Amino acid sequence: MKRIVSGIKPTGSLTLGNYLGAIKQFVKLQKERKNDEFFLFIADLHAITTRQVPHELRKRTLDVAAMYLACGLDKERTTLFIQSEIHEHAELGYILQSNVYMGELERMTQYKDKNDKNDTSITSSLFTYPALMAADILLYDADYVPVGDDQKQHLELTRDIAARFNNYYSNFFKVPEPLIPEVGARIMDLQNPDKKMSKSENNPKGYITLFDDEKTITKKIKSAKTDSLGVINYDPVNQKGLANLINIFASVTDLSINEIVNKYKNVGYKIFKEDLAKKLVDVLIPIQEKYHEIIKSNELHEILNKGREIANRYANLKMKKCKRKVGLGRK
Ligand code: ATP
Ligand code: LTN
């Protein structure tokens, strides 16, 4: 039996990038790996590394929980919980901060990009974020961590931190493996295909949220930036915008890039985009219907309570052992 662990920040509305890069993969893995355990959480402690409005954060935390289930995760086989309800995440995060170097944190692109732009709103928790993320994973002895491509670097650092700790204190943490999907790992902004699609992005035309209605989805795909070549061809260098749409198409339909290019090579962008919008609507509208059922029901709280209980048991035991290893406290 293997343990699979991953998290999502409740920052903005979940995007198509979060679905295709992460949640869709969780659902697929759960169907394929019948004997494995799934620990999935809502990373609200990570969310406050940037300013959040308290009542909106609380609402989004439940929204993400409901969306996990609406997208098809099996509630019986998922330990679904809220990160801040398990205080050991923060506790282990602090210990791991003492096992990671400033130079390593400075190299993390998520931090570096902001720093390079002379962003003066970088908090110290944004800087130490990767230590908390390592704690989220190492606390549960995760074997696998399914994430989108942007998290690869954080996963590598998690592995380095675990190995360093094991080396100094003797073997204690399992060194986890990232799982990055072949397609859909990096969905780009629809207006600026050089940037990843992000929920904290200012221009809503650049991203599709899991809450967008049919009209909005169609409009956003229609106005997605392409090029003036006018030929359906998969060329991520010269036709970046189109390549991104082809990737989305492939990820959403499970067709290969070649199959899509062959099917559409003799038609213009207009028909391709109309078909893509239809495929997205077919996938997203049923998810929204399920989300509305779940968010109204009391069951969501029951699931989160049960998740908290199971996660707490693991985290508590691991943390006790960890403190003993490090020499903290009396015994
Ligand atoms: P933000 O956009 O607010 O910076 P985020 O969406 O990158 O946040 P999370 O919500 O925590 O951050 O991401 C959850 C998961 O979704 C992660 O595994 C991440 O790699 C994946 N993900 C996020 N954006 C994309 C994207 N554009 N393409 C593919 N996967 C993505
Ligand atoms: N850092 C991730 C979210 C995240 C996560 C995790 C993912 C926090 N803790 C643990 C996998 C495992 C992000 O910004 N997308």
204-292 has CATH 1.10.3720.10 classification: no
**Is 199 labeled as catalytic in the residue annotation?**
yes
Q: What is the pLDDT of residue 119?
A: 85
Backbone angles phi, psi at 43, to 5 degrees: -85, 70
**For each successive 10 residues of the chain (331 residues), what is the average pLDDT?**
98 96 97 97 97 97 98 98 98 98 96 89 96 98 97 98 98 98 94 92 90 98 95 95 98 96 94 98 98 96 98 98 97 77
Going by alpha carbons, the residue nearest to atom 1 of ligand 2 is 133
Q: Identify the bridge partners of residue 177 per DSSP, sorted by sequence position.
A: 144
Whole-number Å distance between alpha carbons of 89 and 125: 14
Handedness of CA 125, 126, 129, 130 (dihedral sign): negative
**Distance, CA of 168 to CA of 127 (rounded, Å):** 24
The pLDDT assigned to 67 comes to 98
Nearest to 207 by CA among 34, 15, 11, 61: 15
Per CATH, the architecture of 3-185+298-326 is what? 3-Layer(aba) Sandwich (3.40)
Q: Which residues form the pocket of ligand 2, taking CB atoms under 6 Å from any ligand atom?
A: 5-7, 9, 43, 46, 133, 136-137, 145, 147, 151, 154
Residue 119, Cβ density class (10 Å: 0-12 exposed, 13-18 middle, ≥19 buried): exposed
- Which ligand lies nearest to the CA atom of residue 157 in the structure? 2
Residues of the chain within CATH 3.40.50.620 domain(s) are: 3-185+298-326
Q: How confident is the model at residue 137, as a pLDDT?
A: 99
Phi and psi at 258, nearest 5°, equal -60, -45
